[in-house]
Chains A and B, each alone.
Chain A
Amino acid sequence: MEHELLRNLRKKVATEKYPFIKKKPPEGLRGKLIIDMAKCIGCGLCVFDCPAGAIEMIGKGTAADLKVYLDRCHFCGQCAESCPSKCIVYSTEFELANFDKKNLTIEFKRKL
């Protein structure tokens, strides 16, 4: 064991200097989600399947806006799976810490 200690003393430190040096997030990391409202057909399947009730639909059908509560979202990816028009994608943005819960709600509005 002493041998191992001394070996580690000589070795480079295993620590990554996050947040000062950031490494590239892995492909497929599910961070904050982004909805492309241009493609959304307002079918509501994402709302229906979300296990955490993190998506809310305001309005109906093709005119509906979507609201995502990041403080409820578990980043499970089911909404992207369910969406028939594949308009939900995940960014790799995971540094979402916030002092105020309100800032964790994002709205996706249709451009008129």
Chain B
Amino acid sequence: MVPAEIIEFLSVLIYPGFIFIFTLAFFYEWVDRKFVARLQNRYGPLYAGPGGILQPFADFIKLLAKEDITPRAADKTTFRVTPILMLALALSTLFFIPTAYTTAVSWFEGDLIFVTFLVSILVLITLIAAWSSTSTFSTVGGIRVVLQMLGFEIPMTIVMVGPAIVSKTLSITNIALWQYTTGHYFAIYQPIGLIVLIICLLAEIKKAPFDIPEAESELAAGWITEFSGRKLALIRLTTDVELILAGALVTALFLGGPTGPFGIPSVIFFLIKTTGVILVISNLRALFARFRIDQMLGGFWKYLVPLALLQIILVTLGVG
């Protein structure tokens, strides 16, 4: 028999740990790019592996093998550490959301709150990273990241509470399970919450139309302008992990998590559901023009916060 420690170790390392998540991250980036390209009537990545499926992997390897420049003006330690820290944070957040199994790698009563907390920390680290590179593009980009957080954090937290109230638990794993056992999927009962959450997550992962911090046409590449080589590789990986994070969170809170009938392995359901969520996100990305930061903030406070509150009121009135 293999000792339990080794199984544990392997589960962290391979499945559903790092390797699984990284593979998934690359896969979803490919899905996203390919789908947007297709919507724009072109192929998108095509020659790296079949249908270009290895494209994100090739990008990653290439960046790893590239020279890694630290700008002279940058705060060296912070500049070096932040990309690693960000990836670590994104990964550990993912450990509290059920992915491959119906339960998350680690869970406890209240992890929902903890996850929102981790997400905010992630944003703050982005600001620090931007600040440490001391280029003006990065700084303005970094400030925008934080401004954007001020916009999406409140409505996001509020709508995440919706499912928690009904299922009477503050654990993401339990919320997912509750939906499966009762058959009450929140996507049906709390549609407003679902929409608000997806929009907020779009802002969180900084995808169009909320890619304001990276706005290519006005800020070079925003807060990531100065990062290159390995650091850039890690940052891109983080972005992809965040994409999974968004998909997994929506899946767990509103689509019943990695569960489904017929005794099919739960990971299949997870893949189907998250891919669905990611396709929706990609579609939204192709559908809109980028907003301006003040319009984004104004819009979130004017529309999303009231909508989120409305959802909660409906829930407490017993409609949800």
Q: Could you tell me the distance between the alpha carbons of A8 and B286 in the complex, rounded to whole angstroms? A: 12
Q: Could you tell me the distance between the alpha carbons of A5 and B43 in the complex, rounded to whole angstroms? A: 14
Interface assignment of B106: CB less than 8 Å from any CB of chain A: no
Q: Which residues of A contact B42 (CB under 8 A)?
A: 13-15
Interface size in chain B (residues, C-beta < 8 A): 9
Q: Could you tell me the distance between the alpha carbons of A63 and B38 in the complex, rounded to whole angstroms? A: 59
B37-63 contact mask (Cβ, 8 Å, vs A): 1 or 0: 011111100000000000000000000
Q: Which residues of B contact A2 (CB under 8 A)?
A: 283, 287
Interface assignment of A38: CB less than 8 Å from any CB of chain B: no
Nearest-CB distance from A84 to chain B (Å)?
48
Nearest-CB distance from A49 to chain B (Å)?
42
Known: A1-B287, A2-B287. A9 touches B43 (CB 8 A): no
Q: Could you tell me the distance between the alpha carbons of A5 and B286 in the complex, rounded to whole angstroms? A: 8
Q: Which residues of A contact B38 (CB under 8 A)?
A: 8-9, 13
Interface size in chain A (residues, C-beta < 8 A): 9
Interface assignment of A22: CB less than 8 Å from any CB of chain B: no
A8, closest chain B residue (CB): B41
Q: Could you tell me the distance between the alpha carbons of A9 and B42 in the complex, rounded to whole angstroms? A: 10
B40, closest chain A residue (CB): A8
Interface assignment of A102: CB less than 8 Å from any CB of chain B: no
Q: Which residues of B contact A8 (CB under 8 A)?
A: 38-41
Q: Which residues of B contact A13 (CB under 8 A)?
A: 38, 41-43
Q: Could you tell me the distance between the alpha carbons of A5 and B282 in the complex, rounded to whole angstroms? A: 11
Interface assignment of A11: CB less than 8 Å from any CB of chain B: yes
Chain B contacts with A in 15-55, Cβ cutoff 8 A: 38-43
A5, closest chain B residue (CB): B39
Q: Which residues of A contact B43 (CB under 8 A)?
A: 13, 15
Nearest-CB distance from A20 to chain B (Å)?
9
Q: Could you tell me the distance between the alpha carbons of A14 and B44 in the complex, rounded to whole angstroms? A: 11
B38, closest chain A residue (CB): A9
Q: Could you tell me the distance between the alpha carbons of A82 and B285 in the complex, rounded to whole angstroms? A: 54
Nearest-CB distance from A8 to chain B (Å)?
5
A1-40 contact mask (Cβ, 8 Å, vs B): 1 or 0: 1100100110101110000000000000000000000000
- Asked whether A14 lies within 8 Å of B41 as measured between CB atoms, the reply is yes
Chain B contacts with A in 266-309, Cβ cutoff 8 A: 283, 286-287
Q: Could you tell me the distance between the alpha carbons of A11 and B40 in the complex, rounded to whole angstroms? A: 10
Q: Could you tell me the distance between the alpha carbons of A1 and B289 in the complex, rounded to whole angstroms? A: 11
Q: Which residues of B contact A5 (CB under 8 A)?
A: 39, 283, 286-287
Q: Which residues of A contact B283 (CB under 8 A)?
A: 2, 5
A2, closest chain B residue (CB): B287
Q: Which residues of A contact B39 (CB under 8 A)?
A: 5, 8-9
Q: Which residues of B contact A14 (CB under 8 A)?
A: 41-42
Q: Can you report 7 residue pairs joining A to B where beta carbons are below 8 Å apart?
A: A1-B287, A5-B287, A8-B41, A9-B39, A11-B41, A13-B43, A15-B42
Binding site for A on B (CB under 8 A): 38-43, 283, 286-287
Question: Considering the complex of A and B, which 8 residue pairs feature the smallest CB-CB distances, nearest first?
Answer: A8-B41, A14-B41, A5-B39, A15-B42, A15-B43, A13-B43, A9-B39, A13-B42
